[in-house]
Structure 1
Amino acid sequence: MKDLQDLLAMAIPQPAMSHQLQLAEESSISVPDCLDFTLQRFTYESALPVEDVAMVVYQPAKRGQAAAIELRYCVAGSKYCKNPECTDQLCAGKKEQCSDKVPSVDLITVRFQPTFIQALQKGATSYSIFDNQSRKPFVKSIQPCTKSKSVLETMVHNDYEGVLKNIFLQSRALDLLLYSSDQFVKNDIDERYGCRFLTQMEDRGKIEKARDILLEQLDAPITIRDLARRVAMNECYLKKGFKAMYGTTIYDYFQKERMEKAKGLLYEKGMSVSEVAMLMGYSCISHFSTAFKKHTGLKPCELLLR
């Protein structure tokens, strides 16, 4: 429970604000010989600054028992409907049409059973999920990537029952393990446990400052060299540290946030394609359209027609 509270504290840095959370739902599902899935959903009345965070908890093998891996997530954005005539599944599919929704924070835990992890590693000719020589447990904080958050959404909101639900949860949990592994497992033995320099709070702070700079100037692209100079960090460390903390490259993160902002300006503000392209720092509309389609799968004009 302490670790879950730590996760909440990371997602909501202001201690006083976390007291506004109210437990609205709690559920647990066990897939035999595979994993345990638990969900705790908290609602809150006033706006809270919630940041999606995650933890990887590793227990080493001991006394003939395989290593155990637990993934813990604290994500915002899901909705909980207070209207008894409107099911949670319905809200998941039509969030914008639900008038009784309130903001929520979901604490999700996926614990892989030791025997399942051992079965995954059987016959592996390369490195195991964790170094076989490791005898110490650890807890590592990671930033859930977009793919992981999409998987979590489907795990919370699905219509499967019985055996099909077990199959679905197992497949989705393996997706989570795969997407998260990029942040805590490396082919290079020296880097297998991530960027060691990130154990220093000062260095993590520089990475966070770099992200804040990106978000503050989505309309003005900045080179990695200039970004590294502004946060007083080596370029190589900045690139490695950013990917370790946020699960993606600096450029991909910037483009994703840039296109999300553009989508909001087009769809919610009703601005024209040329206006948005100019605001996002594009001198050529066709370049903006290409970047937008790559991110959203739609051309800007196609989004306006919806």
Structure 2
Amino acid sequence: MKEIQEILQLAMAQPAMSDQLELAVTETVAVPDCLDYTLQRYVYDRPLPVEDVAMVVYQPAKRGKSAAIELRYCVAGNKYCRKPNCNDRVCVEGHKAAECSSDKLPSIDLITVRFHPGFIQSLQKSNTNSTLFELQSRKPFMKTIQPCTKSKSVLEQMVHHNYEGVLKNIFLQSKSLELLLFSSDQFIQNDTEERYGCRFLTQMEDRSKIERARSILLEQLDAPITIRELARKVAMNECYLKKGFKAMYGTTIYDYFQKERMEKARGLLYEKGMSVSEVAMMMGYSCISHFSTAFKKHTGLKPCELLLR
């Protein structure tokens, strides 16, 4: 679940809209001694702003274990029929246009390919100068890239094929290696700074600190915290915290806190039926007018106007 949220936060301009996604298909295939392939297809009724995105996740070798690589993709665009007896492939190719011309749902495909450490080690043999995702790194990292046209074509083939049994394993292995090749090309072609973007965010430890900072904000919406204090709590440089938070969540720490704070206030007013003064106090405001101004800035309505609806 955490992996899904991470990539959806990158793919969707408004990650909160992920609540509108409905899981339609789940498929997991284990190719022995090679890789694990997982497909999760989500459909949705309303238009959602979704971009294609890919992530490279690297875990270094440790305690006698070889390095591991995981490729994650979020690809949007295909539409599928609601009819339970309809074949997805046929729907996509439009061979049943007469029967399936209506009631189609747009989808998001989340595809994960995790290469087994032993398989990665076999690729590395006799190649001491390999630059495949900088495998000489001693720290785990996570890097976001845009899936190239060739990668998206391969992903489409992996999702829609007719192979079964051993042939299916062979097919998925061959296509996964193509993804590994194309992703590595993209990774290597970028210069040192562009390759990492927010470079420190490639380190799992730093990403965890920013995730912890977000959790702290959500845990105390009624008690504003300064960025300096937040940085101290998660043991991170203030500048890195601000820059990393915006890179991961698409907004500043203050704007994120205010949005979540006002959403909670909206729930207390509209769903719980609490008074404006009660909610203002619960949200840490000593002045009702300041609360009203902040609420209107976020929702477009004054608290009292919401109560009249």
Counterpart of 2:132 in 1: which secondary structure? Answer: coil
Distance in 1, matches of 2:200 and 2:63, equals 34
Contact 1:151 1:176 in 2 (8 A): yes
1:148 corresponds to which residue?
Answer: 151
Distance in 2, matches of 1:46 and 1:66, equals 44
Matches within 5 A, 1:1-306: 1-94=1-94, 97=97, 98-99=100-101, 100-124=103-127, 126-131=129-134, 133-185=136-188, 191=191, 194-196=194-196, 198-199=198-199
Q: 1:86 to 1:128 in 2, by over 3 A?
A: same
One-letter amino acid of the counterpart of residue 82, structure 2? K
- Show CA shifts across 1:227-250 (max 9, x none): xxxxxxxxxxxxxxxxxxxxxxxx
Residue 129 of structure 1: how far off its partner (Å): 2.0
What is the RMSD computed on CA atoms of the aligned residues? 2.4
One-letter amino acid of the counterpart of residue 177, structure 2? L
Contact 1:80 1:88 in 2 (8 A): yes
Q: 1:196 to 1:26 in 2, by over 3 A?
A: closer
Residue 54 of structure 1: how far off its partner (Å): 1.0
Distance in 1, matches of 2:10 and 2:95, equals 27
Distance in 2, matches of 1:139 and 1:95, equals 40
Contact 2:23 2:40 in 1 (8 A): yes
Counterpart of 2:119 in 1: which secondary structure? Answer: helix
One-letter amino acid of the counterpart of residue 59, structure 1? Q
Instruction: Kindly report structure 1 stretches of 4+ aligned residues shifted beyond 4 Å.
Output: 191-194
Query: Identity rate of aligned residues, in percent?
Result: 63
- Show CA shifts across 1:41-70 (max 9, x none): 111001111100111000001122211000
One-letter amino acid of the counterpart of residue 17, structure 1? M
Counterpart of 1:6 in 2: which secondary structure? Answer: helix
Contact 1:185 1:194 in 2 (8 A): no
Contact 1:121 1:128 in 2 (8 A): no
90-99 or 176-185, which moves further after superposition?
90-99
Contact 1:184 1:192 in 2 (8 A): no
Residue 15 of structure 1: how far off its partner (Å): 3.2
One-letter amino acid of the counterpart of residue 58, structure 2? Y
The count of corresponding residues between Structure 1 and Structure 2 is 198
1:212 corresponds to which residue?
Answer: none
Distance in 2, matches of 1:84 and 1:132, equals 44
Query: TM-score w.r.t. structure 2 length?
Result: 0.59
Q: 1:96 to 1:86 in 2, by over 3 A?
A: closer
Residue 83 of structure 1: how far off its partner (Å): 1.3
Distance in 1, matches of 2:174 and 2:192, equals 25
Query: TM-score w.r.t. structure 1 length?
Result: 0.60
Contact 1:92 1:157 in 2 (8 A): no
Contact 2:133 2:184 in 1 (8 A): no
